[in-house]
Amino acid sequence: MCLTAFSLLATCHLPLATSSALANDAPELTDQASEAIEKGLKHLLKRQRDDGSWGSVAVTSLSLMAFMSKGEFPGVGPNSAALEKAKDWLLKTAKDSPDGYLGGSMYEHGLATLALTELWGMTWDKEEDDDIQKAIEAAVDVILRSQTDGGGWRYEPTPSGGQDTSVTVMVFIGLASARQAGIVVPNETIAKVLKYLHSAVSKETGGFNYVPSGRSGSLQNQSVACTGGGAYAAQLAGERGTEIVLGALRFLEERTPAIIDNGFGSYYYGHYYAIQAMVQAGDNYYAKWYPRIRDALVRRQGTEGGWGKGGEDASYQTPMAIIILSTPHRYIPIYQR
């Protein structure tokens, strides 16, 4: 199986080189959206802990990605010192893990793998860059050895722990990012992921089930989050334009504007995937989808600049909302088409 979609090298991980849509080239990024992004980033800065983290591997990884989606990296941009602390915390977490497992679940592990991969090559310190590479390689080893025979993953880093679409997609995005950056990932692993994705899709609706049911599945088993994530994962695995992707895109489009305007369970998580699926699907899909979710997120932003519930800590919803709003910038390779 030849996967030419994974052709980017680590040298592509440069903010100026990867940007294909700066502000002047992205009229869909309105002043209101840009202001919402800035308020959201300030909200995150206020909630960053003294140790550099945002309280967990998952939220720290997402928060780093939120700043990177705006073109800010450790050592680059007005918040470089805060991002250096966050990077150092994440890298220390990786160094302290004897087996390469990051966080308390494969959700967190997938996100940390993604954040580390997108940070790789962005440090000015060669030794530190080498440390990031080692952390990525160890994280990828965890992913490879914990894939089930069915092709997916679940909460624990073990091949006998079951599988579901939500965790499988999150883990695979991290794996795809690592492969884009030059880490060796066997074609067999990608083929097994596709096997899982095909087993999870409903032939009746095109939506993705949370867990494969061996039949078409009920609407309760299907979700916007799993469908957006399943489409995005399939696209990254080389299935752009195939029915498994087109059916998922129809599933999402048929449910608009309700799923954008009215909300649903895992709203931010679902739209984090959905917008990337639309980017991968091409300009016609993206041009219709982004303005809707952009304006909906601007309306949903809290007075303090965050989204969702977080209390004194930042919630995962805030960095996900920022990443979605920042889609026109295209600074991060895994989010480019």
Whole-angstrom Cα distance, residue 233 to residue 177? 11
Examine residue 75 and state whether it is found in any structural domain, yes or no: yes
Q: Which residue has the higher pLDDT, 263 or 15?
A: 263
Structure-block tokens of residue 273: 């995937």
Residue 59 domain-assigned? yes
Predicted confidence (pLDDT) at residue 201 exceeds the cutoff of 50: yes
As a whole number of angstroms, the distance between CA 189 and CA 156 comes to 18
Interacting residues of 218 by C-beta distance below 8 A, sequence separation 6+: none
40-64 as b/e, with b when 16 or more CB fall inside 10 Å? bbebbeebbeeebbbbbbbbbbbbb
User: Is the residue at 3 inside a domain?
Assistant: no
Q: Say if 5 falls within a structural domain.
A: no
- Give the count of domains, the chain: 1
- Phi first, then psi: give them for residue 288, nearest 5 degrees: -85, -35
pLDDT at 10 over 60: no
CA distance 334 to 233: 11
pLDDT score recorded for residue 76: 79
Residue 216: helix, strand or coil by DSSP?
A: coil
Q: Which domain holds residue 26?
A: 10-335
- Write the CATH number for 152: 1.50.10.20
Distance CA 104, CA 85 (A): 21
Instruction: Report residue 88 as tokens.
Output: 């150092």
Percent over 90 (pLDDT), the chain: 77
Q: Does the pLDDT value for residue 246 go beyond 80?
A: yes
Domain contains 2: no
- pLDDT tens-digit readout, 124-179: 678 888 999 999 999 999 999 999 999 999 999 999 999 999 999 999 999 999 99
pTM greater than 0.75: yes
